[in-house]
Amino acid sequence: MNTLNADLHCHSTASDGTLPPGEVVRRAHANGVELLALTDHDELLGLPEAAAQAQALGLRFVPGVEISVSWLDQTLHIVGLGIDPTNEALIAGLAQVRGGRDGRAARIGAELERIGIRGALEGALRYAGNPALVSRAHFARYLVEIGISKNVHDVFLHYLARGKPGYVEHVWATLEDALSWIKGAGGLAVIAHPGRYRLSHAEMDILFERFRDLGGDAIEVSCGAHDGGQLLAFARLARKFGLMASRASDFHGPEDSPIDLGRAPPLPPDLTPVWTRLA
Ligand code: AMP
Ligand code: MN
Ligand code: MN
Ligand code: MN
């Protein structure tokens, strides 16, 4: 059960991935993935193409989404798996979250302009496969293109992370709303890449408890953002809070990801994989 090659979090050009949905599915299949979820940021647009390609290849596919959430002073990402993409409250909620991105992108462009980087908004938009979904990842690719930094990681380090000149504060969905949209659409809710959040141990405990109380189901124990120590630490927290575990590459594209589709490490054998609850 825990040895299934499941990859339950990745991106396409419907958000900030570099491959179209059908290509993501073909690559996952070629990599030996047995169960795949496409989880674009705040967006369901890529799901029909991905589902059709998966069906053509005989690959098990789960519709998903990754919702941007503001909690305490942090941005968290909550993945919804097995959601009904026709659910009206989910569709309306995601439209509202996406709606804030245009103004935010304009503010990021203005901040970069202030430090002498011209045309970043237009440049980012050229990288955005979906104009409704401009992400910092698109800004990062443009800044690499014009030689500001040598890679996307360095752009985040010096320009786009919190406290850096191109970072702007933004308010996303509430944790409560994200959970209600996912659960209301029949999905399972997963805390994405918990190792990336700057939370104390006490705050992490509060988050997991609140998440579980709101009906949350699982945490990403194995993911591209975690090292071996983090995998073990979050496995312990999954046991402590009685949450299931997910496995995810968070693949964004061949050049843009620490690990490829289907290549996240296996889950510890005693944890319950979230896919045992996916049809
Ligand atoms: P946004 O939703 O616009 O804030 O953009 C967040 C996206 O930027 C994430 O989903 C990643 O794709 C990317 N990202 C965030 N931090 C980093 C980083 N340190 N290095 C590379 N990509 C990052
Ligand atoms: Mn992303
Ligand atoms: Mn994320
Ligand atoms: Mn992601």
Closest ligand to the CA of 9? 4
Tokens of 221: 């124990």
Nearest to 245 by CA among 223, 269, 219: 219
Atom of ligand 1 nearest to the CA of 137: 8
Nearest CA to ligand 1 atom 2: 135
Closest ligand to the CA of 135? 1
Closest ligand to the CA of 158? 1
- What's residue 10's pLDDT? 98
Backbone φ and ψ of 19, nearest 5°: -110, 140
Ligand 3 centre from 38 Cα, in Å?
Answer: 12
Confidence band (pLDDT; 50, 70, 90) for 251? very high
DSSP structure string for 139-173: HHHHHHHTTSSSSHHHHIIIIISTTSTT------B
Is residue 279 over pLDDT 80? no
Backbone φ and ψ of 204, nearest 5°: -60, -40
- What's residue 257's pLDDT? 84
Nearest CA to ligand 1 atom 6: 136
The model's pLDDT over 60-70, given as tens digits with 9 standing for 90+, comes to 999 999 999 99
Q: Is 0.85 surpassed by the pTM of this model?
A: yes
Nearest CA to ligand 1 atom 11: 137
- What's residue 228's pLDDT? 96
Which residue is associated with the tokens 């919190």?
A: 162
Q: What is the DSSP letter of 110?
A: H
Q: Are 146 and 116 in contact (CB under 8 A)?
A: no
- Mutate which of 94, 136, 249 for ligand 1? The one with the most ligand atoms within 8 Å of its CB, which is 136
- What's residue 161's pLDDT? 97
- What's residue 1's pLDDT? 72
Is residue 4 over pLDDT 90? yes
Q: Which residues surround ligand 3, an ion (CB under 5 A)?
A: 77, 192
Q: How far apart are CA 125 and CA 129, in angstroms?
A: 8
Helices (H), the chain: 21-30, 47-57, 88-99, 101-114, 120-127, 136-145, 152-155, 175-184, 201-213, 228-241
Cβ of 162 below 6 Å from ligand 1:
no
Ligand 2 centre from 61 Cα, in Å?
Answer: 20
Cβ of 135 below 6 Å from ligand 1:
yes
Task: Classify the C-alpha dihedral 170-8-276-43 as positive or negative.
Answer: positive
Q: How far apart are CA 102 and CA 137, in angstroms?
A: 14
The model's pLDDT over 74-101, given as tens digits with 9 standing for 90+, comes to 999 999 999 999 999 999 999 999 999 9
The model's pLDDT over 129-153, given as tens digits with 9 standing for 90+, comes to 999 999 999 999 999 999 999 999 9
Q: Which whole number is the average pLDDT over 91-118? A: 98
Q: How far apart are CA 125 and CA 185, in angstroms?
A: 31
Is residue 223 over pLDDT 80? yes
